[in-house]
Structure 1
């Protein structure tokens, strides 16, 4: 299959420098290999969504010269596909309902790389307990097995994870009824025929779970490259939730050059006069092997 890459922001705020780095890395990797590049708005978490953020992100990308090859895909239109995947997993006896609260999990679980490892409390219950009038809702968890999932990242090298030991059975549909990111991203990467995923290293440890889901659902696994994270002086990742400063679209070339420098790519000998000139240089010079695999502070 020909190269197909994507950028998949969540509409929880405006595009900031960390998001620009992720967008640029995926865009350059696709264009340097004469591939397609698409955008997916990951709006499956309404409580975190900011009104108007999707449009603002897209307008900022346009002002920076990004060009996508297909109409933008919104995850809010894909609920039926996610439910079909859940039905498939349910038919394979790979799901169970979980009524555990966060406090209960913290009490019984041990600490892992991403917080508390789910101890499997509800896995062996025939039916989660129901308290009349409690209004208690259930999440859906995916059964994991004591096996290692390994993959080779184009920047980080070979990585592996034993999901049941390091994460535990994980949620694919939340107790509030919203679909979990891990399920949606797997279903939509397959739907959009994505061959190469270039994204931030904050999602590095999610990759084994996604590969595990891909295998269970009979879907192909893309190639992965995880870019270094942009952090503030306190070491915290730039994010929309933390209200990191948005990109100044009034000075697009300045912002683009800063992102290119962060990715440790060759800079043009002279400042490009236009956004088009910048991209002509950056696409031709792109070399992902030059990227530092350590997170960096700005």
Structure 2
């Protein structure tokens, strides 16, 4: 699953495609074992090969098992984790930590009649508190739109014998119920995705985190890349041609001495 995601991103770089294709690509890379897991036909052997999706349920990185398994618990899916992952990793807007004393979803597994609750029912009970609702109204619709994928990334229509209810409203009010609708909602306003990716790219290139004074540079890279449909080459060249990358600031001598002293002290300990 991890290799699938790596190969998709490598294909975007090799073919110099738009970064937005990372979220809307109608193809992926699988071997026979992963293809069987996804329900894809006519794939044989251990080697990965490029295949096109027969439908639109699994487009882009949000349909990859690497993401879906990472954002699930051992025994059930977690729309909260999936929503938080999209907000934090893709959009760069992590939600605040939960308030103290809030019970976990697992503490409300059964209804009064002994029936196993669906994940959505547990979530609705969990966010009954106003303190929880303020954050969950942003995370939950994102995660619920991906809840047709089970803990291993397989497609499903029911949970605990009950039909899945994945309806929700994106933070801008757009109704989302399926993975393609979630992707469309994200790409309707792509700037957060583009700026967050560019920030991470710049941090990787600079060897440090992006600071507040770097933000005008980040915005200008994304604005300039718009003319080229946000191709990866435009974003990469925007970073390496920037002054922050070409002219690394030297540390003051006192700061260097302090850093060396700290390293020596740690080695002695």
| Structure with more helix by fraction | 2
TM-score over 0.5 (shorter chain): no
Look at both structures and tell me which one has the larger radius of gyration over its CA atoms. Answer: 2
| Structure with more strand by fraction | 1
TM-score normalised over the length of structure 1: 0.22
- Structure number with the bigger relative contact order (C-alpha 8 A, sep ≥ 6) is 1
